[in-house]
Structure 1
């Protein structure tokens, strides 16, 4: 660990930051100094190396989210086993581990999320006004569009309304088909209604798929 800390502070400072971050990640997880949490801490250390270079915010430099998606977790552990071996093996080739693809995909994911909420908000405001409702109702429709449950109190807070106005707005959105009501009294919540379908369809057409520029496939 002392050798790793010394390297983090002084070693290979001229190397590309993604190489240093990847090697910091690999070395710490293979030293395996704790009984649990070595993987999470190693990935956090990788993000720290990026942060020390002031390269990008953690939303883009961290690959934690990407590694937890779908089959990526299994590929990550398979690569760790192939490169690192069963025991500490510093003589093994670490080249395959230095893969910027995951960072690129994470950056695309974060960028796409920002663009999705930007475009969806503008589209909702436009469509809500066309339907004769107040554009403030987009505060309630946005989380519903993303697949979440909406509560009157949440809308009231986000749109900075009093309870009576928020309640009237929720009823109007249900009446016009923008939202569906579920449950009763304090347990009531709302989800996307049929009027949201054209907005969902439009968002699918303008949301671009992710592309790994380092993929050989």
Structure 2
């Protein structure tokens, strides 16, 4: 009889179980959503496909770090990805060593999904996440498993002295055997589980092992992305599960804790949540594609008179999905121009029918695209 507190203490570990009949409906719904998205993508040109992939990967890189409370600069992430993928986005942002490391991991996981997952590959991903060998100001081991020298690996929250332990990982001494079993399962030539369920199980299994000093959540999501890329049969990504997990961050951690503390190895509830989240991510991808196609149509139709560089730059920001309201002061900051020049640029675009004013007027005036894409249009 199971008497431990955590799932890895079960005598049956790691013999995962799940109710396939209970998962049949959400599994079919996700498969249908995948087919609808791929069908739309098959009907668009190479340029929009590349732009949709760039948007999804940018979201993935930014949000997988945001889940852990780390903020990456979107412009730096997008530039790094565009440089690697050969997508022209105009001016590139300066190289950020930390951003480059996260991009390296995500692109290797998704672009080389069919390559075996090995210890060396995981070590490479981990080293890329921590290029200085530091997590914040704390030295950590890279290129090797944790050693528990400072005590057991725990996931905790709350202030020092009143911390709550959400999970405790298996002892470091067990890691070589546990990792070997995990990698053998990931690389099995004839998997027994449906491909989408393998992605959910791989994510859960790796984050339960928690084999590194830090970065385990990001690496677990990279493992899940690798298995999703295998399920899709394509190295190009058009949706971001990490972005959807970030939107449901609290539920994500609650579901992990619930699953990791239960007395058996039944992963049905986790997999149901995983499939529901994946379906939502695919729905978001349709909205991203709507935005990409609207942007392509906007520039294909083209304004009757050439725009200046400032106007092109800020319009592209709007077409990519501007965060918040565009005001003349924000225009001046983005375009690096004076307030008077920003107002002339904006008035010119309003006169051409490309922008429209909103707000109460005066300093409260904001501007938006005159013809926004409809997220309901499919």
Could you say which residue in structure 1 is the equivalent of 2:255?
79
Deviates more, 1:55-64 or 1:108-117: 55-64
Q: Quick one: structure 1 residues 16 and 61, their matched pair in 2 at CA, closer, same or farther if it must change by over 3 Å?
A: farther
- Is 1:9 matched with 2:9? no
Partner SS state of residue 200, structure 2: helix
Could you say which residue in structure 2 is the equivalent of 1:147?
322
Could you say which residue in structure 2 is the equivalent of 1:112?
287
Aligned partners of 1:68, 1:59: CA distance in 2, in Å? 18
Deviation at 1:68, TM superposition (A): 1.3
Could you say which residue in structure 2 is the equivalent of 1:95?
268
Preserved CA contact (<8 Å) 1:47 1:61:
no
Aligned partners of 2:240, 2:344: CA distance in 1, in Å? 42
Task: Output one character per residue of 1:69-128: Cα deviation in whole Å (capped at 9) or x when no partner.
Answer: 2xx000100011111118xx6x23210111312222222222321221321442476584
Q: Quick one: structure 1 residues 10 and 198, their matched pair in 2 at CA, closer, same or farther if it must change by over 3 Å?
A: closer
- Listed as ranges, the gaps of 5+ residues in structure 1 are 154-168, 180-191, 210-217
How many pairs are equivalent?
Answer: 171
Q: Quick one: structure 1 residues 105 and 57, their matched pair in 2 at CA, closer, same or farther if it must change by over 3 Å?
A: farther
Correspondences of 1:38-77 after superposition (within 5 Å): 38-57=216-235, 59-60=237-238, 62-69=240-247, 72-77=248-253
Could you say which residue in structure 1 is the equivalent of 2:376?
208
Task: Output one character per residue of 1:29-80: Cα deviation in whole Å (capped at 9) or x when no partner.
Answer: 11111221111111100111122345344634641111112xx000100011
Partner residue of 2:357 out of 194, 199, 203: 194
- The structure where helix makes up a greater share of residues is 1
Aligned partners of 1:48, 1:35: CA distance in 2, in Å? 22
Preserved CA contact (<8 Å) 1:44 1:62:
no
Preserved CA contact (<8 Å) 1:17 1:53:
yes
Aligned partners of 1:12, 1:98: CA distance in 2, in Å? 21
Aligned partners of 1:198, 1:32: CA distance in 2, in Å? 46
Aligned partners of 2:277, 2:254: CA distance in 1, in Å? 15
Q: Quick one: structure 1 residues 58 and 95, their matched pair in 2 at CA, closer, same or farther if it must change by over 3 Å?
A: farther
- Listed as ranges, the gaps of 5+ residues in structure 2 are 1-178, 324-330, 359-366
Aligned partners of 1:25, 1:17: CA distance in 2, in Å? 13
Aligned partners of 1:57, 1:31: CA distance in 2, in Å? 27
Could you say which residue in structure 2 is the equivalent of 1:21?
199
Q: Quick one: structure 1 residues 61 and 170, their matched pair in 2 at CA, closer, same or farther if it must change by over 3 Å?
A: closer
TM-score, reference length from structure 1? 0.63
Preserved CA contact (<8 Å) 2:256 2:270:
yes
TM-score, reference length from structure 2? 0.38
Could you say which residue in structure 1 is the equivalent of 2:348?
176
Partner SS state of residue 68, structure 1: helix
C-alpha RMSD of matched pairs (Å): 3.5
Preserved CA contact (<8 Å) 1:43 1:64:
yes
Preserved CA contact (<8 Å) 1:26 1:42:
yes
Higher relative contact order (CA 8 A, sep 6+): 2
Could you say which residue in structure 2 is the equivalent of 1:183?
none
